[in-house]
């Protein structure tokens, strides 16, 4: 029994070491930019850079001026160097219920379907990974990638 306990403890201790080793081999470069539509900044958009073979995507959210910075592992560390597919979607916020009936619907109470809780402002075509409308090449050093979206 004690031997099993020691083996389990050893395995649990070593798992994080094995998982974190891949991050050090990936070359990242800082990426920032601005997302606009119709010459107006897009606030609350999620910008995602995906590269084949990368352990995860680099993600950033636009501020009130449409500016974003990408994070993959640590804050603002950027994206993987090389060709990336870019997806842009909204960081959709739930609508706050204004009445007890709306609250019940939002909770699925009373047999009514919950109301739609999100609204998207970014056209869906920019979130379609199969179409891959946006592609960028992330290079060593600082990168600036601005996106002017069209409806």
Q: How many CB atoms lie within 10 A of CB 19?
A: 10
Architecture of the 26-149 domain: Sandwich (2.60)
SS3 string, 83-136, reads EEEEEEEECCCCCCCCCHHHHHHHCCHHHCCCCCCCCCCCCHHHHCCCCCCEEE
Grade residue 151 by pLDDT with cuts at 50, 70 and 90.
Answer: confident
Quote the pLDDT of residue 40.
93
The residue that leads in pLDDT, 87 or 131, is 87
pTM flag (> 0.85): no
CA distance 33 to 42: 12
Enumerate the domain spans of the chain.
26-149
Report strand pairing: 31-37 vs 143-144: parallel
pLDDT tens digits for range 22-81: 445 789 999 999 999 988 999 999 999 999 889 999 999 999 999 999 999 999 999 999
């Amino acid at each position: 029994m004690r031997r099993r306990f020691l083996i389990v403890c050893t395995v649990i201790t070593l798992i994080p070491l094995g998982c974190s080793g891949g991050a050090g081999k990936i070359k990242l470069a800082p990426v920032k930019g601005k997302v606009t539509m119709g010459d107006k900044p897009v606030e609350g958009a999620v910008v995602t850079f995906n590269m084949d073979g990368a352990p995860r995507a680099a993600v950033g959210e636009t501020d009130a001026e449409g500016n974003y910075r990408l994070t993959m592992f640590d804050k603002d560390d950027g994206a993987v160097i090389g060709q990336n597919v870019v997806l842009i979607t909204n960081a959709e916020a739930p609508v706050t219920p204004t009445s007890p009936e709306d609250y019940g619907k939002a909770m699925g109470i009373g047999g009514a379907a919950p109301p739609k809780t999100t609204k998207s402002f970014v056209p869906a075509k920019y979130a379609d990974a199969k179409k891959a409308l946006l592609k960028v090449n992330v290079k060593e050093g600082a990168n600036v990638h601005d996106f002017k979206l069209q409806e």
